[in-house]
Amino acid sequence: MDMSYRELKKRLRQEALARRDALDPQWRIEASLGIAEVAGREIDAGPGDVVSAFWTMRSEVDTRPLMAAMREKGARICLPAILDKSTMIFRELVRGADLVDMGFGTFGPGPEAEVLDPNIMLVPLAAFDPRGHRIGYGAGYYDRSIERLHEKGMSPRLIGIAFDCQEVPQVPDEPHDVVLSAILTESGLRGFRQLD
């Protein structure tokens, strides 16, 4: 019997996350620093840009050096804030501000922080394929947030942040799925050609 779309995505997610979890923690730190260096050279961001990042959880790429690299280029940085079971917004991350628990083992700026709409989004993921399709963690927050930005007339550049070991041959996709513009791993920044 063939696996359903949902079952296949779940299996691919679990396998990719297991590979990521198995990476040596010291290697992950070094790879994260290298990813930040590449971002500083190759991601076109600067004053006037708003870059959404994410607070690292579990064995993800450590995004703190990446955020610092974007800030050094003059970009404003924001992090996701989950308001309820379906809504995620982005709040500005400023030096010295307190971070609050956002659930899922992640942190972000509190309700006093300014809400921003990013034009560049650094997107977490569980798995990705060579076409730019991604598997998230299953809650759909990013898909809904990107749809909300599209409804406002914005088309943010979507850059997945991952390790090479999270790549899978093909993510099962549906017509409504959001495709990444690029993926940034320890091997560098790779763009995806968008097919219309």
8 marked among binding-site residues: no
83 marked among binding-site residues: no
5 marked among binding-site residues: no
Rounded CA gap, 51 and 45, in Å?
8
In contact, 120 and 159? CB cutoff 8 Å: yes
160 marked among binding-site residues: no
152 marked among binding-site residues: no
Tokens of 142: 């990013």
Q: Which residue has the tokens 């509190």?
A: 110
195 marked among binding-site residues: no
85 marked among binding-site residues: no
Rounded CA gap, 79 and 67, in Å?
10
103 marked among binding-site residues: no
∠ CA 189-187-173, rounded to 5°: 65
161 marked among binding-site residues: no
75 marked among binding-site residues: no
11 marked among binding-site residues: yes
Binding-site residues from annotation for substrate: 60
Binding-site residues from annotation for ATP: 9-13, 134-142
Binding-site residues from annotation: 9-13, 60, 134-142
